[in-house]
Amino acid sequence: MDRNLSTVFDADHDDLVEHFERATYRGREYFYLPDERHGVERGTVVAGCAVVRGFPSIPRVLVLEPGVPDFFDGPVTVEEKLNGYNVRIARVDGDVLAFTRSGYVCPFTTSLAADYPLDSFFDEYPDTVVCGELIGPENPYTTHDYAEVDEAALRVFDLRDRESGEPMAVERRRERCDAYDLSTVPAFGTHEPDAAVDAIREAIADLDEQGREGVVVKSEDGERALKYTTSAIHRADLAHAFDKPFDYGQQFMFARVIREAFQSVEFGEDEATARERAREMGESVLLPAIESIRAVEDGSTIGDTHTVRGDPATIESLLNRFRAVGLHLDIEEDTYEDDERVVRFTKVADASRDKINHLLSGGTIDE
């Protein structure tokens, strides 16, 4: 690592360096931090002379009142929380690279980034990291669909100093993105903290109806942020987890049960509405699990299915990476359309399949 990290982080240099993992992208060496250490964010990257800080974790509130007014002491902007995957895009030694949350250079996302007018942006702001959510169909990580998005698309929610991780003020950031034709996440206005509670409730009701994820509430300087999510996404997450019930921890379920319970209380639901919420939540857990047990019984593959398209070398390197980290891929379609390679594959949920097979054949469980 040719960068002395003690000039960047307030942490013991030797100890921190030890925790970075080495990786390469097109022959270029870089280092990433797979877990948070000494207050340095997970996903922090050192590549040549550049340091790109990891994207910080955003705390969650379970009740908007008094959660929001207690957390902020000035006006807040309410932004939509989009459900895709987190990407950070920076220009390192002349190349625009896209990093995943864990700090790995994703060849697929890096290739998508080339479709955005980022070169002129980085000419002007070389030390900025563009942080956004990659949403839409045909991506290798998430399966949530947005009616208005018909291909993988970037929505920017932060411009940060890549070395210090300092965010830009929200309004300035939105203006700067507009100036460079970078699409930003939708927003629901700026409000005083007390008034924000009602604005968020309205936004959440609307988003819930459309099956969308939720909001991230931010202080004007961008320094403080809170997230809050819809019942629709709690159910969608549960359904997504329970169609491979043994691949996700029980923690995952517990967190969502608790979010639903607090939301029901805060929304002042009557008995019938709470009962309806309970029924819908039960269905989103149980029905996908039942369907998956049937699928395994029939010998079908279970897991998440994705389609990706791109230049053949990019797609090859993405699939190689997935296999290298131990994912078991079932390739369902592998074709060429013009110069692009199009692959539909399932990330096979081996743990769930094996456990379901074991139980279906009368195996025992220790509980």
Cβ proximity to ligand ATP, 79 vs 243, nearer residue: 79
Would you say 309 and 336 are in contact if contact means Cβ atoms under 8 Å apart? no
Cβ proximity to ligand ATP, 57 vs 120, nearer residue: 57
Q: How far is the CB of 342 from ligand ATP (least distance, A)?
A: 26
Read off the DSSP letter of residue 325.
T
Per-residue b or e along 38-57, where b marks 16 or more CB atoms closer than 10 Å to that residue's CB = eebbbbbbbbeebbbbbbbe
Cβ proximity to ligand ATP, 5 vs 159, nearer residue: 159
Cβ proximity to ligand ATP, 128 vs 292, nearer residue: 128
Cβ proximity to ligand ATP, 32 vs 343, nearer residue: 32
Within 8 A by CB and 6+ apart from 67, the residues are 61, 226, 228
Q: How far is the CB of 11 from ligand ATP (least distance, A)?
A: 20
Distance CA 93, CA 98 (A): 13
Q: How far is the CB of 86 from ligand ATP (least distance, A)?
A: 3
DSSP per-residue letters across 293-319: HHHHHTT---EEEEEEEE-HHHHHHHH
Cβ proximity to ligand ATP, 48 vs 211, nearer residue: 211
Q: How far is the CB of 350 from ligand ATP (least distance, A)?
A: 23
Angle value at C-alpha 130, between 210 and 20, nearest 5 degrees: 110
State which residue has the least CB distance to ligand ATP: 86
Q: How far is the CB of 108 from ligand ATP (least distance, A)?
A: 17
* Residues lying near ligand ATP in the complex (CB under 6 A): 55, 57-58, 79-82, 86, 133, 157, 185, 216, 227
Q: How far is the CB of 213 from ligand ATP (least distance, A)?
A: 7
78 CB burial (10 A radius; 0-12, 13-18, 19+)? buried
Cβ proximity to ligand ATP, 86 vs 314, nearer residue: 86
DSSP per-residue letters across 212-249: --EEEEEETTS--EEEEE-HHHHHHHHHHHHTSTTTS-
Q: How far is the CB of 82 from ligand ATP (least distance, A)?
A: 4
